[in-house]
Amino acid sequence: MSMSDEDRAALRLESYFEAARAHPPVPSAALMASVLRAAETMQPAPPRVPLAARLRAASGGWPVLAGLAAAAAALGVWIGAALPGANGGATEAAYLVDVAPELAFVLAGDF
């Protein structure tokens, strides 16, 4: 079986490819530094995220914040209902006056 001209040309080319594979070109350090510097300047800046959005994301999102608001409102209602009344006595009235000075006029008649 004789070789065709295409087979002979492929064999000749293969020797050149082997020689090129044996000695691959290496880019210079200056070229690599220039390419890396250009790549760094082309990187987009990270987006600025507002503080409120970061806190919302860190806490778990809107459902968690809605639950927290509902719990705070329920706690406020409970504290408002469970506070000792003005008819409790002088020590409780003094405590209330220290906590809420505007109640001093309301409680003044109980002493």
Would you state the pLDDT for residue 27?
92
Query: What gap in Å lies between CA 23 and CA 5, rounded to an integer?
Result: 28
Rounded to a whole number, what is the largest CA-CA distance in the chain?
Answer: 126
Report the Cα 94 to chain-centroid distance in Å: 47
Q: State whether 24 and 72 are in the same domain.
A: no
**Domain span at residue 30?**
5-42
Q: What is the pLDDT of residues 57-86, one digit of tens each?
A: 888 888 988 999 999 999 888 877 776 554
Q: State whether 101 and 57 are in the same domain.
A: yes
- For the four alpha carbons of 81, 84, 86 and 87, in that order, the dihedral sign comes to positive
Would you state the pLDDT for residue 86?
47
Burial of 105 (0-12, 13-18, 19+ CB in 10 A): exposed
Q: Which portions of the chain are predicted below pLDDT 70?
A: 1-3, 83-111
Q: State whether 58 and 103 are in the same domain.
A: yes
Report the Cα 47 to chain-centroid distance in Å: 11
- Which pTM was predicted? 0.34
Q: State whether 38 and 56 are in the same domain.
A: no
Would you state the pLDDT for residue 28?
94
* Tally of domains within the chain: 2
Would you state the pLDDT for residue 90?
55
Q: State whether 58 and 104 are in the same domain.
A: yes
